Amino acid sequence: MRAILQRVRQGHVTVNNQIVGQVGHGYVILLGITHDDGPPEVKKLAEKTAHLRVFEDEQGKMNRSVLEVAGEILVISQFTLYADAKKGRRPSFTQAAAPDQAEPLVVQFVETLRQLGLQKVETGVFGAHMMVHIENDGPVTIILDTAVL
């Protein structure tokens, strides 16, 4: 699993000009699933996400987790995180999991974040064409990949 965590002041996602998910202070997460992913990767990534300390404390140091700041999370499924652009001019997406494998893992990731104590976790619409609006705070953008965690 791959995730792009963007610390945000706010973010929202629209489908057909309708807001389907929105958050305030916290993360917008772009989430990619590959063929080898399953429940162990979901758990590992959710725990790392919930406890990663990239929010500022009273001294302005990145020393608090999204849990500690009562942050909110917007999760956007994005198969293009597994694009392979090594050959030619058009990327291949063969490393991305098929929708029937990926969608349940995205749902499980969201549920695991909630079980870990995050009060507000919202999503886009799996497989839809989405417009993602992100007000990146910092900017702080972290790439997590369970293959190297």
Digit-coded pLDDT (tens) for 33-50: 999 999 999 999 999 999
CATH code at position 84: 3.50.80.10
pLDDT, residue 107, reads: 98
Instruction: Enter the pTM of the model.
Output: 0.97
pLDDT, residue 132, reads: 98
Residues taking part in catalysis? 78-80
Look at the chain and report how many structural domains it folds into: 1
Question: Which residue segment(s) compose the domain that 138 sits in?
Answer: 2-145
Q: What is the 3-state secondary structure (H, E, C) of the chain?
A: CEEEEEEEEEEEEEECCEEEEEECCEEEEEEECECCCCHHHHHHHHHHHHHCEEEECCCCCEEEECCCCCCEEEEEECHHHHCECCCCCCCECCCECCHHHHHHHHHHHHHHHHHCCCCCEEECCCCCCCEEEEEEEEEEEEEEECCCC
